[in-house]
Amino acid sequence: MKHLLKLLDVTGEEILEILNLADQLKYETKHGIEHHRLKGKCLGMIFEKSSTRTRVSFEVGINQLGGYAVVLGAEGSQIGRGEPVQDTARVLSRYVDGIMIRTFGQDEVEALAEYGSVPVINGLTDFCHPCQVLADLMTVREFKGTLEGLKLCFIGDGNNMMNSLIVGGLKVGMAVSVACPEGYRPPQKILDFARQYDGFELTGDPMQAVKDADVVITDVWTSMGQEEERQKREAAFKGYCVDEKLMAAAKPDAMVQHCLPAHRGEEISADVFEANASYIFEEAENRLHVQKAVLVKTMGGE
Ligand code: CP
Ligand code: NVA
């Protein structure tokens, strides 16, 4: 795999290969088995948005693989002063062996890959969050034993998380239902992809979407960069809280996932969050293992 820019570029088989490698690396990590598969390699990390999990899991991950990271923020680098991504790509490619980027526009990530000569990994854009969804799928498979044939339901905003879950879930053979208010639906490109699959459902009714779901996932109503819309969004998403009433319509053994950070009392109730904490924090841990698998798949070391 050359890059990980979005799950639309990756096959279902490749997703499963990443998950298999992530499971293996998780086992090796837990058993103290050293795996310096990227010895001496440098990962450049660019952050134009805040991060806790992505930042730490990638940095710890590349270190556990025998490499190291250099971190660039928009502030404190020339990126924040407007240096074109095409130039940043060609410069960084001469110093580092791979680049992870978290930014706003998907076009910036695509340009980085086009103009640079090293693997590029998308650590979140407004359009998608592929690394997070790989960790979600890994976690679901860990707890449920399989992915194929399960029903995954996402309640909330047609944002980066919903987009990647639709694509990733459908590609690995899950049924995917999503509930979002009018005006907050996924972009046409995602809907065009999803409509090729019989197992896809889009509705404005959370109760309908969650019916018989094996996995229920939600995310913040206001994503990074949308802070000015917070009030408007709070009104639009009323009735979209994943709470006990909603969960009663899912399968009795349904599990809940949340990419974090979570806003209790908004997209998820405190009760449902705590009842599912063991799944949610395993999901957060799995970012580390999946990140390492993605680094190995893109930067060599298999
Ligand atoms: N879920 C996730 O990507 O978390 P961070 O924003 O903390 O990286
Ligand atoms: N949708 C959220 C995800 C954060 C990990 C955001 O983009 O802010």
- Could you report the per-residue pLDDT of 134-146, keeping only the tens digit for each? 999 999 999 999 9
Architecture of domain 132-283: 3-Layer(aba) Sandwich (3.40)
Active site residue 132: yes
Name the CATH topology of 7-129+287-299: Rossmann fold (3.40.50)
Q: Which of the listed residues 46, 48, 49, 53 should we mutate to test ligand 1's pocket, taking the one with most ligand atoms within 8 A of CB?
A: 53
Q: What is the pLDDT of residue 135?
A: 99
In sequence order, what are the beta bridge partners of 203?
179
Give the strand order in the sheet containing 200-203.
Answer: 200-203, 175-179, 151-155, 215-218, 255-258
Q: Which atom of ligand 2 is nearest to the CA of 51?
A: 5
CA distances from 301 to 41, 42, 120, 293 (A): 10, 13, 16, 10
Catalytic residue among 64, 106, 132, 257: 132
How far does the centroid of ligand 2 lie from the alpha carbon of residue 131, in Å? 12
How distant is the alpha carbon of residue 142 from its chain centre? 17
Which parts of the chain have pLDDT scores under 70? none
* 234-292 per-position pLDDT tens digit: 999 999 999 999 999 999 999 999 999 999 999 999 999 999 999 999 999 999 999 99
Q: What is the pTM of this model?
A: 0.98
Does residue 291's CB lie within 6 angstroms of at least one atom of ligand 2? no
Rounded to the nearest 5°, which phi and psi values hold at 285?
A: -60, -40
| 132-283 shares the fold of 7-129+287-299 | yes
Active site residue 271: no
Q: Which atom of ligand 2 is nearest to the CA of 219?
A: 1
The domain ranges of the chain are 7-129+287-299, 132-283
Q: Which helix (H) or strand (E) holds 29?
A: helix 12-30
Q: What is the pLDDT of residue 301?
A: 75
> How many Å apart are CA 123 and CA 49, to the nearest integer?
10
Does residue 125's CB lie within 6 angstroms of at least one atom of ligand 2? no
Active site residue 243: no
Active site residue 81: no
